[in-house]
């Protein structure tokens, strides 16, 4: 099932729920009833509207989260928000047919270094175009935007320049606040929820909102209950290939990455295949078991140095291993390799050949000199 066509039609023809219509929808959620695509589309637009009181918006998000967001609701919200985003006018067809994003939802609070950002350069060095979508830190010391700045990359390119960057370099960063301006209207609500210790659908939507609309995605989630639903949502959104993962640490905590600390639960699909679920253990692939301390992060400057060491080949420990594993999964998801072992070899070649480091260098130069 795909929602791309229906939601595009809804977007053109339907506005937000009215002040009168909104409270009954909240009550339906409290009764555990799901929203259909049209209702979900109108509801998310209502959350972005000043017409609905903040208290009602909070009630909606709490009721939705306690009910449990369905894949269809998540996909509809994401498609609607992506339609509202600034369009950089570039996509998979402009870069050879496959465009990849590698992104974690955040929220695992494990304070690891910026694994997916390092992975993006390794994958790009292996020849796969990467549209890296991200923001500044929310639940960690260093978000992708923060560490890229520390690596010398200008993160806030205008959309036409970001599109040129992706075409010319094979990797570009799409800084979320520049594209999702409608989110400014819900910042206060998200802060209120955070102060209450509550999460909402907005804590899982980020990886689904890349404005370049990648058709291959590796998404890490911190909640194993969301793995299958996010995979289904990706498929409904029209992705050609998708993989959603949740790793484990040695003490049983969850991480929004492929893990070398313990097994990783995986849900994936390719083209129009059914979603398959399973578990991958890095140890079975020949990678040493790591501890959380081995892959711990720090301030953005420290994380940037670790990424530099990984990309230039001077780091050969646990941080390199976890980047190689996630890069192998991303390369598999992009259709470049079939097996994780092949992906590990190709990821290592990207580093050892200097191509991964070259991607970082070229990205930094381009973003500093583009006009």
Q: What is the pLDDT of residue 137?
A: 64
The CA-based angle 118-280-148, given to 5 degrees, is 10
At which of 84, 118, 148 does a domain end?
A: 84
Task: State which residues form the domain around 106.
Answer: 92-369
Say yes or no: 212 and 344 in one domain. Answer: yes
CATH of the domain at 332: 3.40.1030.10
Residues 201 and 189: their CA atoms lie apart, in Å, by 12
Is there a single domain that holds both residue 104 and residue 75? no
Closest CA to 211 of 258, 143, 158, 275: 158
Checking DSSP bridges between strand 264-270 and strand 254-255, what pairing results, if any?
A: unpaired
Residue that terminates a domain, selected from 33, 52, 84: 84
Q: Which two tokens stand for residue 128?
A: 């796969």
Rounded CA-CA distance 153/134 in Å is 13
Confidence of residue 4 (pLDDT cuts 50, 70, 90): low
In this structure, the number of other CB atoms found within 10 A of the CB of residue 101 comes to 26
Q: Is 145 found in the same domain as 44?
A: no
pLDDT above 70 as % of the chain: 95
Q: Among 84, 114, 146, where does a domain finish?
A: 84
Residue 89 has pLDDT above 80, yes or no: yes
CA geometry: angle at 269 spanning 204 and 170, to 5°? Answer: 75
- Note the pLDDT tens digit of each residue in 345-369: 999 999 999 999 999 999 999 999 9
Q: What are the C-alpha distances in Å from 296 to residues 109, 115, 141, 269?
A: 11, 10, 11, 31
What residue spans of the chain are helical by DSSP H? 4-13, 22-30, 37-47, 54-67, 71-84, 115-125, 144-150, 159-169, 176-179, 187-195, 202-205, 227-236, 300-311, 318-333, 340-352, 355-369
Q: What is the pLDDT of residue 5?
A: 57
Mean pLDDT of the residues in the chain? 92
Residue-level pLDDT at 1: 55
User: What is the residue whose two structure tokens read 């994936």?
Assistant: 268
Residue 153, pLDDT score: 97
Could you tell me if 74 and 179 lie in one domain? no
Picking from 177-191, 218-232, 257-271, which range would have the lowest pLDDT averaged per residue? 177-191
Angle at 46 between CA 41 and CA 48, to 5 degrees: 105
Question: Same domain, yes or no, for 245 and 152?
Answer: yes
Q: List, for residues 120-142, the tens digit of each pLDDT value.
A: 999 999 999 999 998 886 655 66
Total domains in the chain come to 2
> Sorting pLDDT into bands at 50, 70 and 90, what band is 110?
confident
* DSSP codes, 6-66: HHHHHHHH--PPPTTTHHHHHHHHHTTPPPPHHHHHHHHHHHT-TTS-HHHHHHHHHHHHH
Q: What are phi and psi of 33, to 5 degrees?
A: -95, 135
146-201 confidence digits (pLDDT tens): 999 999 999 999 999 999 999 999 999 999 999 998 877 787 888 888 888 888 89
**Pair 109, 138 in one domain:** yes
Residue 190 CB neighbours (<10 A): 18
Quick one: 69 and 183 in the same domain? Answer: no
Q: Give the CATH number of the domain where residue 14 resides.
A: 1.20.970.10
Statement to judge: residues 240 and 163 lie in one domain: yes
Q: Are residues 320 and 347 in the same domain?
A: yes
Comparing 91-100, 109-118, 310-319, the range with the smallest average pLDDT is: 109-118
pLDDT over 60 (residue 302) = yes
Do 333 and 298 fall within a single domain? Answer: yes
Asked whether the beta carbons of 63 and 193 are under 8 A apart, the reply is no
Tokens 């520049």, residue located: 178
Q: Same domain, yes or no, for 58 and 158? A: no
> Both 205 and 227 in a single domain?
yes
Q: In b/e form, how buried is each residue of 21-60, taking b as 16+ CB within 10 angstroms?
A: ebeebbeebeeeeebebebbbbbbbbbbbeebeeebbbbb
């Amino acid at each position: 099932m795909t929602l791309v066509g229906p939601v595009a039609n809804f977007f053109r023809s339907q506005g937000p729920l009215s002040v009168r219509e909104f409270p009954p929808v909240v009550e339906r959620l409290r009764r555990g009833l799901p929203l259909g695509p049209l209702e979900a589309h109108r509801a998310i637009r209502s959350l972005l509207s000043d017409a609905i009181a903040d208290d009602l918006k909070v009630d909606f998000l709490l009721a939705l989260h306690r009910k449990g967001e369905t894949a269809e609701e998540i996909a509809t919200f994401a498609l609607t928000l992506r339609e509202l985003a600034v369009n950089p006018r570039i996509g998979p067809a402009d870069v050879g047919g496959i465009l990849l994003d590698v992104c974690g939802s955040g929220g695992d609070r494990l304070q690891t270094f910026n694994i997916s950002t390092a992975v993006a350069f390794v994958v790009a060095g292996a020849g796969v175009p990467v549209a890296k979508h991200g923001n500044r830190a929310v639940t960690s010391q260093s978000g992708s935007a923060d560490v890229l700045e520390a690596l010398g990359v200008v993160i806030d390119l205008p959309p036409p320049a970001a599109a040129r960057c992706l075409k010319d370099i094979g990797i570009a960063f799409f800084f979320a606040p520049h594209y999702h301006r409608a989110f400014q209207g819900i910042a206060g609500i998200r802060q209120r929820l955070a102060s209450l210790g509550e999460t909402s659908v907005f804590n899982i939507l980020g990886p689904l909102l890349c404005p370049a609309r990648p058709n291959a995605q590796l998404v890490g989630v911190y909640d194993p209950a969301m793995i299958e639903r996010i995979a289904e949502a990706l498929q409904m959104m029209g992705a050609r290939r998708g993989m959603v993962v949740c790793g484990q640490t040695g003490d049983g905590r969850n991480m929004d990455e492929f893990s070398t600390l313990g097994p990783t639960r995986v849900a994936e699909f390719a083209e129009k295949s059914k979603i398959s679920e399973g578990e991958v253990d890095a140890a079975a692939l020949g990678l040493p078991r790591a501890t959380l301390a081995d892959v711990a992060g720090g301030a953005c400057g420290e994380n940037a140095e670790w990424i530099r060491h990984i990309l230039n080949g001077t780091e050969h420990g646990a941080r390199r291993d976890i980047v190689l594993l996630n890069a192998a999964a991303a390369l598999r998801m992009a259709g470049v390799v079939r097996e994780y072992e092949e992906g590990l070899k190709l990821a290592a070649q990207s580093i050892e050949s200097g191509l991964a480091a070259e991607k970082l260098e070229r990205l930094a130069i381009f973003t500093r000199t583009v006009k």
